[in-house]
C-alpha cells in the first residue's frame, strides 16, 4: 500500500512504475525488469488503474471491455462476462457508459484493468466513488488477485482497507519516503504511535 497526503507523489509513483511516466531520476525494477531499460517487458507484466478511466461513453459496458480485450487477446475476451458479473454490472452490460453513475464507471474501469492477466496490478485510489457494495466487490477482486499470485500495489487514503488487504505499506511526503513497514502498523495521520 502507498499512502500520503494529496500531492505527495502516489499517483506519480504508480505511473512511473507502469512506465506511463518517466522518472526524473532514480531507478526501479518491476517484476524483475528495469523501468528504464526494459519498458516493454514491464508493460507486458503490469496493469494500471489511473485517475482517468479512459472509458468510451458512447459504448456499452460490454463493448468497452470487448474493445480492451481485442488488444489483449482471446484469454481476455473469455473473461469479459465473468468480470461484468464480478463487478455487479452484468444486468447493465448493454447500457451506454454515459448513463452510468461515477461508482458504476469505477467498477467498469476496474473490470477493464483486470482483463489483463498481469503479474503486477497498480491501483490508484480504487475505492474512490465506490459505495459499500462496491468496496466488497473490490475487496473480493483483490483477494482473488493475491490468491492467483499477482502483486498488488494500492494507492489509497482509506487506511482501513489497506491494512486489511496489504502486507506492506509506505507513506510518501513530497515525493519522498517518510515511513515504511508492515501495513498493520500504519497509523492514521495524527494518531499516537
The tens digit of pLDDT for each residue in 26-46 reads 999 999 999 999 999 999 999
CB 97 within 8 A of CB 136: no
Task: Identify whether residues 149 and 177 lie together within a single domain.
Answer: yes
Task: Identify whether residues 35 and 128 lie together within a single domain.
Answer: yes
pTM, two decimal places: 0.94
What cell was used for 43?
508493460
Q: HSE (CB half, 13 Å, CA atoms) of 37? A: 7
pLDDT at 187 exceeding the cut of 90: no
Task: Identify whether residues 15 and 83 lie together within a single domain.
Answer: no
Task: Identify whether residues 126 and 41 lie together within a single domain.
Answer: yes
Q: Which of 117, 140, 164 lies at the terminal end of a domain, its last residue?
A: 117
Query: Of all residues in the chain, what percent carry a pLDDT higher than 70?
Result: 97
State residue 161's pLDDT score.
87
Question: Per DSSP, what are the bridge partners of residue 172?
Answer: 4, 177
Span 120-126, mean pLDDT?
Answer: 97
Task: Identify whether residues 1 and 56 lie together within a single domain.
Answer: no
- The pLDDT confidence band at residue 190, using thresholds 50, 70 and 90, is low
Q: Which of 84, 117, 150 lies at the terminal end of a domain, its last residue?
A: 117
Size of the chain, expressed as the number of residues it contains: 193
Task: Identify whether residues 111 and 124 lie together within a single domain.
Answer: no
Nearest to 175 by CA among 1, 35, 12, 28: 12
Task: Identify whether residues 127 and 188 lie together within a single domain.
Answer: yes
- The pLDDT confidence band at residue 82, using thresholds 50, 70 and 90, is very high
C-beta neighbour count of 60 within 10 angstroms:
20
Distance from C-alpha of 32 to C-alpha of 69, rounded to nearest angstrom: 26
Q: Which of 99, 117, 135 lies at the terminal end of a domain, its last residue?
A: 117
What residue has cell string 464480478?
86
Task: Identify whether residues 129 and 108 lie together within a single domain.
Answer: no
Span 78-103, mean pLDDT?
Answer: 97
Give the domain range for residue 110: 50-117
Strands 33-34 and 176-182: unpaired
Task: Identify whether residues 111 and 125 lie together within a single domain.
Answer: no
For the chain, the average pLDDT equals 95
- The CATH code of the domain that includes 34 is 3.40.50.300
Number of compact structural domains in the chain: 2
State residue 53's pLDDT score.
87
Can you list the positions of beta strands (E) in 28-140?
29-30, 33-34, 46-49, 120-124
pLDDT of 57-71, one tens digit each?
A: 999 999 999 999 999
State residue 192's pLDDT score.
44
Span 116-126, mean pLDDT?
Answer: 97
Task: Identify whether residues 125 and 107 lie together within a single domain.
Answer: no
Amino acid at each position: 500500500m502507498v499512502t500520503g497526503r494529496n500531492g505527495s507523489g502516489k499517483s506519480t509513483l504508480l505511473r512511473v512504475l507502469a512506465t506511463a511516466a518517466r522518472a526524473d531520476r532514480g531507478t526501479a525494477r518491476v517484476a524483475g525488469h528495469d523501468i528504464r531499460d526494459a519498458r516493454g517487458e514491464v508493460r507486458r507484466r503490469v496493469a494500471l488503474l489511473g485517475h482517468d478511466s479512459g472509458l468510451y461513453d458512447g459504448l456499452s459496458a460490454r463493448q468497452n471491455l470487448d474493445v480492451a480485450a481485442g488488444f489483449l487477446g482471446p484469454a481476455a475476451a473469455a473473461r469479459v462476462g465473468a468480470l461484468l458479473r464480478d463487478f455487479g454490472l452484468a444486468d447493465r452490460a448493454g447500457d451506454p457508459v454515459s448513463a452510468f453513475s461515477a461508482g458504476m464507471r469505477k467498477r467498469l474501469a476496474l473490470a477493464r484493468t483486470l482483463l489483463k492477466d498481469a503479474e503486477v496490478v497498480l491501483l490508484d485510489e480504487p475505492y474512490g466513488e465506490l459505495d459499500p457494495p462496491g468496496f466488497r466487490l473490490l475487496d473480493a477482486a483483490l483477494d482473488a488477485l493475491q490468491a492467483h499470485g499477482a502483486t498488488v500495489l494500492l494507492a489509497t487514503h482509506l487506511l482501513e482497507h489497506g491494512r486489511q488487504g496489504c502486507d506492506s505499506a509506505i507513506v510518501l511526503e513530497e515525493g519522498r519516503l517518510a515511513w515504511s513497514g508492515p501495513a498493520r502498523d500504519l497509523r492514521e495521520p495524527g494518531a499516537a504511535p
